[in-house]
Chain A
Amino acid sequence: MGTKMTTAYRLGVDIGGTFTDFAVVDEDSGAVRVEKMLTSAKAPEETVLRGVESLAAAVPDMLAQTSEVIHATTLVTNVILERKGAKTGLLTTAGFRDILELAREVRYDIFDMFIRLPEPMVPRNLRLGVSERVLADGSVLVPLNEAEVRDAAAAFRDAGVEAVAVAFLHSYRAGDHEKRAGAILREELPGVTVSLSHEVHPEPKEYERTSTTVIDAYVKGVAEGYLDRLSTGLQERGYRNRLFVMLSNGGTATVETAKSVPVQIVESGPAAGVEAASYFGRLMGLDHMLSFDMGGTTAKLCIIEHGRAARTRTFEVDRVHRFKAGSGLPAAVPVYDLLEIGAGGGSIARVNDLGLLQVGPDSAGSDPGPASYGLNGAAPTVTDADLLLGYLNPDYFLGGQMRLDIAAAQDAIQTGLAAATGLTAIEAAAGVHELVNENMTSAARVYVAEKGQAPSHLSLVAFGGAGPVHAVGLARKLGCPQVIVPPFSGVMSSLGLLAAPVAFEGSRAVRQIVNALDLDAVEAAFQELEDEASALMPEGSALLVRRSVDLRYSGQDYPLEIETEGPCNDAAVKSDWEARFEAAYNELYGKVDDDNPVELASVRVHVSQPAPQLDIARPAATTDAAPKASRKIYVSAQASMESVSVYERTDLRIGQEIAGPAIVEERESTTVIGPGDRLSVNAFGCLVVDLAIPTMSGEDSDDVPVTVAVGGG
């Protein structure tokens, strides 16, 4: 029994809407093992625990030897998208209860007078004001009326409110009133979760802060309960260390932090996918890539340039108009700037009122799931279509762990789609496959343009269970010349959790002119931040510490981040910061001779482990693998079912080339290539598909205007 002396495993677990993925790396050998299970929608933590047990079965006492469990989940996102969070009340400064509904009073599209706006997450009758007022300088104009807070609590109780967001004006400067109101609410409303705006997002601008706090309150109860049950379950099974959760920007948080500000983990699953794509991008030296993660419920795309994924400091949940910035509810948290589309294997296809085929955005998820899962799902889905088209192997789904019922898929498509449209089942299935690709293409085209890129420069890095099935079709429509399918592509997000070093970032606002800085105080702030961040790291880990300063011209809002080496105890550091800021500013914006003084907005510390080394098993074969079988798949160029070769991915040799049309199957996914496409296996075990002729769809004649939709910011 090879029980090791040291803790020697790291475990990544990613919960998606349909599947939960696991990856465990042996720290000594670097060897990676993976697992995939259907997510239990009712108790996702039980899926995690079952998966962990299954992995641990092979290695006695594995959890006791595990140094880190890092977790990502789409649970929080789904709660928002499906509006299944807590019944939430909002407590505001009297006279300002409508801030949440007033928003910014602006149309997100100047030419659309019929725009739709998202429903406020708290309806007007659950928004209550109380007497209190803090001024811009933090002084108290009106003390908090505690009796009114208790009255509000009673009203919330009567209405059956389960969570309360408290957002008072200027609380980012003085949070005492919010703290006191929160204490009273907790006292009056036991069991009700409370979110305070100065804790969730301590920055000015009342609408954005209120919205972020309301979202936090809305998801907090669900997130807390879930993370608690998961922590306890892992401990009961022998795990002795902290549970870590990936944040929406790829950073890590302890489970305590994640529970206290769950709005920060809204995009944790997608962030893990981006980390994984970045990892392979770095390995392969790709400068311009588009990560494409298609799971059961949604597809996510993210531009990664020179190893850095697009980032933003605020994002929107529940966008009414998927192309348009401003059409969702703002959450002011740092996130990867990715595009999320309601398109996945579980997306439901139907014939709409106009008699036209429509796919998504709603998903059958894992329960009941696609008709072919045989779990009582009756609605036809993308997975059912892919099965009927021969892209998926009914006997090799999850390596045969789960059998797909082809008759059920055929029946669902025949009854639900073919009958109403007069198409054959195959034609209807081909329509579903085509349409979901088209939906993703049109959204991706705008997203890529918004980032100022051309698809023709981007390699599409595909993963997620459905990603490789749809990647080549998407790339062809979008105009990407190349598709890359990394190994373990069906469980990439869990791999991403292990590929990203555990890291914490802390910052402290300073807001002083650089020239007049007290450097001792700045150095003290840096050291405090380093101590705080280091304390959160896994015990005994080697630490990399990076310092930076946020600089701007005094009077501006947006700073530029300039890296700096410590300690700062020499006046020369001031002129060094100023000079480097000006150089960076001129580089970004051109020389405009600004003569305002440079201000230190904040200091920032980033503490991380060294980047982990994963040893992903490379293909061992020394000779070209022969096809393991052949089967009929739908070839869209011919609009017919054609017999093609089927390869087993693990049999392929590094350097082996395959000409399309063909299918490469692996345990968690399937890569489909078309006529003329050439697939090869590179040194990292990635499948690299060079597309035949990257033509783009979109017929257009001289007198038909091209419709372009570009979101504003």
Chain B
Amino acid sequence: MQLDPVTIQILWNRLITIVDEAATGLMRTAYTPSVKEYHDFCCALFDTNAQMLSHSTVTTAGFLGIVPEVMRNFLKKHPPETLQPGDAIITNDPWIASGHLIDVSIASPIFHRDRIVGYTLCIVHHLDMGGRMSTLESKDMYEEGLKIPILKLYEAGKVNETVFEFMRANIRVPDKVLGDVRAQLVANNVCTRGLKALLDEYDLDGLEELGAEVIHRTESSLRRKIAALPDGAYRNDVVLPKIPGCDDEIEVKTLVTVEGDEVTIDYTGSSGEVGAAINCSYNMTRSYTAYPIKLALDPYVPNNDGGLRPIKVIAPEGTVINSRPPAATWGRTMISHLFPEIVFAAMENIMPENILASNGGSPANEIYLHGRNPDGRSFLAIAQHSGGFGASARCDGYSCLCFPNNTRNIPVEVTENEARMYYVRKELRTDSGGPGQNRGGLGQEVEFCILDGGTELARDVESSVRLSGRTEDGSFPVFGRRGGKNGRGSGMWANDQPVDHGIYRRLAPGDRVKFVLSGGGGYGNPLERAPERVLADVEQGYVSIEQAEIDFGVVIDAGRMEVDMDATAALRGRMS
């Protein structure tokens, strides 16, 4: 059947709807806030050649480069001719799949009219996979938890209890985590049903023609956008913020080459693997390196395998950017979350309208809390808070908006129902947004306190709070762009003493942990920001009267809440 453009559009919509329905099935049957609230997952649909045709609208950017590789790796171990209806394949191998053990990938073949017509995959960041969990201190993979090699979780519809038993024996909250594993199976079931319904409805034997069409369209569209950029090589070498417990200085060397309708990002010369849990797998590096290109150049055409083809990522093996087993990988986002802005900075001069200043919450904050309930059972909770969004040529950055991963926060009330703690505050931090003609979004100040469970067992709580580690005077601040100033504020305190982030700390009842997520970087010269916009910021408490003068050169009469235009003109004259 020759597909006409209108039918292609309808079916393309449907391919996305199918994986979105799978994601809805996942969320509706999930057990932990990691899925229900945090949305750290991806559902995807593939053709028979394991080319990704669509992924769920709700997902994190980190999966986008990973997902296509996982499916291909599964098929290397279990070739199509060995698969049966009702099979489900599982792994959490960081190098085969998603870059750290906590992410579990499960895939199934989709059979229709007695042959495989495609594959469905669901990856979820789980609450627990045993081991030391959320710490940057692990020296190798073996400390980090249970590794599941590629195995069949279901074979011809029959459950492999052995896999479930191994997992159950190794994790702290097995009922919930295994419940989420089953929710992944639900997602794959829903996806399978959706695809079969589509094929029946349009009387198609397979996805070959449709798949080729949508991939080609996504690929050629991105290629056209790349071709419009000036050819050239653009370099950006940076030294990353210091990682607690790791003495190595980590340097990322980046050469972005635009040539015709392709972009090559070459990380050659970057630092080698380190004995801390921040090493990236190549898949992970590819996700966050390709993401900013599509984001900046071609955001409105749906993504699929074609969105990766014009982008080449070179990362020599053995570097912190392309590590080998058994490197420790838990906190790989400490590096990979920075790739989008490293790439943006390299390309700043060739596409100044299409970049963002740095995000104050990148690399993403991550909080783990675990301990025992009075009944002796473990509890485990995760949370995340975002920093200020970077400003752009178009607009101010929003306050506390996630980038680049795009996970939702976990409501205060949900976390407090999971863990023996309460939040003391969670609010915007005045003056934290980087000044600029467009201002960076505000960051936030968060504080929590441990509650007593009433028994010796239910007393202390282990907690790790991972932050970006970026400081205003460090090698890698929250950069402003095009004359905009850096984002401000960051740090962490336990009972008012400054402490390291990203490592476990034993907290007793009454102990308080406070941390600040930075505001986003500004864009453009702050002295060119319209005084009335500065006044509006002061009225809302986003900017203080003092900083309005110091950062923006705007003098405000506090009594009348008006801009003193003469004083402002004079001050701005002196400052520029």
Interface residue ranges, A against B (CB under 8 Å)? 94-99, 101-102, 104-107, 109-114, 116-117, 123-125, 133, 135-136, 141, 169-170, 204-207, 445-446, 449-450, 452, 454, 553, 555-558, 588-594, 596, 696, 698-701, 703, 705-713
- Given A98-B426, A136-B416, A557-B36, decide whether A706 and B12 contact each other with a Cβ distance below 8 A: yes
Q: Are A125 and B217 in contact (CB under 8 A)?
A: no
B117 proximal to A (CB < 8 A): no
| CB neighbours of A114 from chain B (8 A) | 392, 394-395
| CB neighbours of A109 from chain B (8 A) | 57, 299
- Given A589-B190, A706-B217, decide whether A102 and B61 contact each other with a Cβ distance below 8 A: no
**Sample (23) of A-B pairs whose CB atoms are under 8 Å apart:** A94-B425, A95-B426, A97-B427, A98-B399, A105-B385, A105-B402, A105-B408, A106-B39, A106-B407, A107-B406, A110-B406, A113-B299, A114-B394, A116-B395, A117-B398, A136-B413, A136-B416, A452-B14, A592-B189, A594-B179, A596-B175, A705-B221, A709-B300
One of B5, B302, B409, B425 near A96 (C-beta < 8 A): B425
Q: Are A98 and B428 in contact (CB under 8 A)?
A: yes
One of B12, B28, B395 near A558 (C-beta < 8 A): B28
B444 proximal to A (CB < 8 A): yes
> What 1/0 flags go to B299-318 for Cβ under 8 Å of A?
11111000000000000000
Interface residue ranges, B against A (CB under 8 Å)? 5-6, 8-10, 12-14, 16-18, 20-21, 23-25, 27-31, 36, 39, 56-61, 157, 159, 175-176, 179, 182-183, 185-186, 189-190, 192-194, 201, 217-218, 220-221, 294-296, 299-303, 356, 385-386, 392, 394-395, 398-403, 406-409, 411-414, 416-417, 422-428, 444, 447, 451, 539-542
Main secondary structure, interface of A, reads loop
- Given A96-B412, A136-B413, A708-B13, decide whether A106 and B402 contact each other with a Cβ distance below 8 A: yes
| CB neighbours of A705 from chain B (8 A) | 217-218, 220-221, 301
Q: Compute how far the CA of A446 lies from the CA of B185 in the bound complex, rounded to whole angstroms.
A: 27
One of B6, B401, B444, B447 near A107 (C-beta < 8 A): B401
| CB neighbours of A706 from chain B (8 A) | 5, 8-9, 12, 217
Q: Compute how far the CA of A99 lies from the CA of B428 in the bound complex, rounded to whole angstroms.
A: 9
Give A588 Cβ to nearest chain B Cβ, in Å: 8
One of A169, A556, A696 near B179 (C-beta < 8 A): A556
| CB neighbours of A594 from chain B (8 A) | 179, 182
Q: Are A96 and B427 in contact (CB under 8 A)?
A: yes
| CB neighbours of B425 from chain A (8 A) | 94-96
Q: Are A98 and B427 in contact (CB under 8 A)?
A: yes
Q: Are B427 and A95 in contact (CB under 8 A)?
A: yes
- Given A102-B444, A136-B417, decide whether A589 and B186 contact each other with a Cβ distance below 8 A: yes
> Which A residue sits closest to B58, measured CB to CB?
A712
Q: Compute how far the CA of A707 lies from the CA of B16 in the bound complex, rounded to whole angstroms.
A: 12
Give A374 Cβ to nearest chain B Cβ, in Å: 41
| CB neighbours of B6 from chain A (8 A) | 696, 698, 700
- Given A135-B451, A706-B9, decide whether A590 and B413 contact each other with a Cβ distance below 8 A: no
Q: Are A206 and B412 in contact (CB under 8 A)?
A: yes
| CB neighbours of A169 from chain B (8 A) | 412-413, 416
Q: Compute how far the CA of A109 lies from the CA of B61 in the bound complex, rounded to whole angstroms.
A: 11
Q: Are B423 and A102 in contact (CB under 8 A)?
A: no
> Quick one: which of A110, A445, A593 has the most chain B CB within 10 A?
A110
Q: Compute how far the CA of A557 lies from the CA of B299 in the bound complex, rounded to whole angstroms.
A: 33
Give A245 Cβ to nearest chain B Cβ, in Å: 31
Q: Compute how far the CA of A207 lies from the CA of B413 in the bound complex, rounded to whole angstroms.
A: 10
Give B383 Cβ to nearest chain A Cβ, in Å: 11
> Which A residue sits closest to B397, measured CB to CB?
A113
Q: Compute how far the CA of A549 lies from the CA of B9 in the bound complex, rounded to whole angstroms.
A: 41
Q: Compute how far the CA of A706 lies from the CA of B13 in the bound complex, rounded to whole angstroms.
A: 10
| CB neighbours of A708 from chain B (8 A) | 9, 12-13, 16, 301-302
> Which B residue sits closest to A141, measured CB to CB?
B422
- Given A449-B17, A592-B186, decide whether A105 and B201 contact each other with a Cβ distance below 8 A: no
Q: Are B417 and A204 in contact (CB under 8 A)?
A: yes
> Which B residue sits closest to A558, measured CB to CB?
B28
Give B332 Cβ to nearest chain A Cβ, in Å: 19
